[in-house]
Homo-oligomer: A and B are copies of this chain.
């Protein structure tokens, strides 16, 4: 049970989602503090029906706070998470700032809930694309270790925030009306287009988003030996990420086996109807808690039966961000 919960980045896309999810039974905070930059301070937001004024984030914002959700980027987390912890709060951080730090658990509650116990004040919420993928891969890995993953993502605008979602909508209108496109949030036009994820590219040629999928999956699974390659692509979709996932297992595995395992996996919904061609789609993953998984089939390029292909869609703002962080807090509240 937490008495006083702070949300850092309350006016952002993930922040709004946190506020929507605060009414969940596992997490009934008596007091809520909404924090944001000076620019957004003063905004009024309803929380469970009661208006709350957003305060400006500063190093003194965390007096009496026992739980703080951070979702305002890595720089803000690096600066304000330590004083929050010093003030006695547990920080559940949605940024990449601490994810790969040794003393910081990186948690997907359906996968490694026990990891929260080792926290020293900060628990990291994984990258959104990683969460959506691992939700479908972990249940299979648990019965037959995954040796290699080749993943290609189809990532929604929401991953770049509320302004990016508005840019997709406005720019699409401009494109339809024949007006010139003027990208501001994204480096390239997103209307009726797609492009390589715009996170920084390192010497290997991978971008930061792809490297997150590689490193975070290994840390969450507790298995540094899994071989992973990822190609992360931004597509003109509003808020659910999708991914085509090719898997190589230690031993042969059949699609029926995989379907059976995934059908009883928590947080996953199998949507795999071949006749009506009903498979995971962003518009059906949008706004729901579960990650959708389908197109489950034997990979014909691996004749030894050790390969599967599948396709997943999951709400980037919900399970990909706010919901997963709330679930981490629920684990803490339940005394995990």
CB pair A307–B229 under 8 Å, yes or no, is: yes
CB pair A150–B246 under 8 Å, yes or no, is: yes
Distance of A228 Cα from B300 Cα, bound (Å): 7
Distance of A298 Cα from B206 Cα, bound (Å): 9
CB pair B277–A235 under 8 Å, yes or no, is: no
Q: Does A57 contact B (CB under 8 A)?
A: no
A224 nearest CB across to chain B (Å): 13
Q: Does A187 contact B (CB under 8 A)?
A: yes
CB pair A154–B229 under 8 Å, yes or no, is: no
Distance of A148 Cα from B303 Cα, bound (Å): 12
Choose one: B235, B297, B309; the contact of A154 (CB below 8 Å): B235
CB pair A236–B205 under 8 Å, yes or no, is: no
CB pair A194–B281 under 8 Å, yes or no, is: yes
Distance of A194 Cα from B311 Cα, bound (Å): 12
Query: Which residues of the other chain, B, contact A336 by a CB distance below 8 angstroms?
Result: none
CB pair B192–A297 under 8 Å, yes or no, is: no
0/1 string, A236-279, CB within 8 A of B gives 1: 11100010101000000001000000000000000000101101
CB pair B282–A204 under 8 Å, yes or no, is: no
CB pair A204–B311 under 8 Å, yes or no, is: no
Choose one: B227, B233, B296; the contact of A301 (CB below 8 Å): B227
Q: Does A169 contact B (CB under 8 A)?
A: yes
A105 nearest CB across to chain B (Å): 25
Please name the residue on chain B nearest to A205 by beta carbon. Answer: B297
Q: Interface on chain A toward B: helix, strand, loop, or mixed SS?
A: mixed
Q: Does A283 contact B (CB under 8 A)?
A: yes
A191 nearest CB across to chain B (Å): 9
CB pair A277–B201 under 8 Å, yes or no, is: yes
CB pair B187–A277 under 8 Å, yes or no, is: yes
A115 nearest CB across to chain B (Å): 24
Please name the residue on chain B nearest to A231 by beta carbon. Answer: B244
CB pair B214–A300 under 8 Å, yes or no, is: yes
Q: Does A295 contact B (CB under 8 A)?
A: yes
Distance of A263 Cα from B75 Cα, bound (Å): 39
Query: Which residues of the other chain, B, contact A2 by a CB distance below 8 angstroms?
Result: none
Q: Which of A55-107 contact B (CB under 8 A)?
A: none
CB pair A237–B192 under 8 Å, yes or no, is: yes
| 14 intermolecular pairs with C-beta atoms under 8 Å apart | A149-B301, A152-B244, A188-B281, A188-B283, A193-B282, A196-B294, A204-B300, A205-B297, A206-B300, A227-B303, A229-B300, A229-B301, A233-B311, A235-B236
